[in-house]
Amino acid sequence: MNRIEKVMRRIKENKEKAFIPYFMAGDGGLEALQQRIIFLEETGATAIEIGIPFSDPVADGPVIQAAGIRALQEGTTLKAVIQTIAGVRPIVHVPLIIMTYMNPIIAYGIEKFIEDSCHAGIDGLILPDLPIEEETMVTSLAEKFGIEIIRLVTLTSPLERIREISSKGKGFIYAVTINGITGARSRFDEEAVEHLKRVKSVSTLPVFAGFGISTPSHVEEMIHYCDGVIVGSKIVEFFSENNLSAIKELIRAAKIKRTIKQ
């Protein structure tokens, strides 16, 4: 059983809420990659999402784009990230999820990428520019090697499409809570809450909210309506400032036991 599936079962059985932090691999150098994975696991992350720097990140806002540029300037490559993860995997137990776009994978070679990711101990992939109509180029190999594909639904996704997406895989659904790119927001409107309720009403998988969540109060608010949250831009920002206590506060906000509001 994939580590992601195991963790999803655990949080359901224990009625826990999940917190998945995102950070950019290579921002601060590859040596920081291992350090940050270890820190996030020790701090209580349910799983860890690791971004791959790319020159044209269409879903990413200014903070993550800047982190990607810094990582590329450090000479970070997809192959180097996978090798670095392989080095830390023996001492880290939480699921590790790669977030990347398709161009770096195609340049690497899809089959080679999936095989190397498996051997490195990578558990899942988030591929925001791969629609489900074209995903078989990846999913058949990912399934063979035991890697979970995490799929996204947006505020504009029709209910039938959400139902179709949620029927695939054994991980979780990434519910995007804003229209637009990643980045901190001051508040969430009722549309985001209704979106989470709608996804929860049809999904057979746990539902995680992401995009725009940036404060402990955001975490506490959004986690009432879903199974967990994903925080990216603020984690990237706090790592760049070496503000580790702020990261701990974000994760702690998800650990208070709550029930899902209807």
Residue 198 CB neighbours (<10 A): 17
Is 227 a known active-site residue? Answer: no
Assess if residue 182 is contained within a domain: yes
Assess if residue 261 is contained within a domain: no
Catalytic residue among 49, 116, 221, 237: 49
Distance CA 67, CA 53 (A): 8
Assess if residue 179 is contained within a domain: yes
List of residues 6+ apart from 116 with CB closer than 8 A: 79, 82
Distance CA 222, CA 261 (A): 10
* pTM score: 0.93
Assess if residue 104 is contained within a domain: yes
Catalytic residue among 60, 116, 148, 227: 60
Assess if residue 226 is contained within a domain: yes
- 59-99 confidence digits (pLDDT tens): 788 999 999 999 999 999 999 999 999 999 999 999 999 99
- 31-41 confidence digits (pLDDT tens): 999 999 999 99
Assess if residue 98 is contained within a domain: yes
Assess if residue 141 is contained within a domain: yes
b/e map 95-112, b = 16+ CB within 10 Å: bbbbbbbbebbeebebee
Task: Provide the residue range defining the domain that includes 102.
Answer: 3-255
- 113-165 confidence digits (pLDDT tens): 999 999 999 999 999 999 999 999 999 999 999 999 999 999 999 999 999 99
CATH of the domain at 58: 3.20.20.70
Is 49 a known active-site residue? Answer: yes
Distance CA 167, CA 196 (A): 17
Assess if residue 157 is contained within a domain: yes
State the total domains in the chain: 1
DSSP conformation letters of 21-34: EEEETTTT-HHHHH
- 192-212 confidence digits (pLDDT tens): 899 999 999 999 999 999 998
Residue with tokens 């209910």: 159
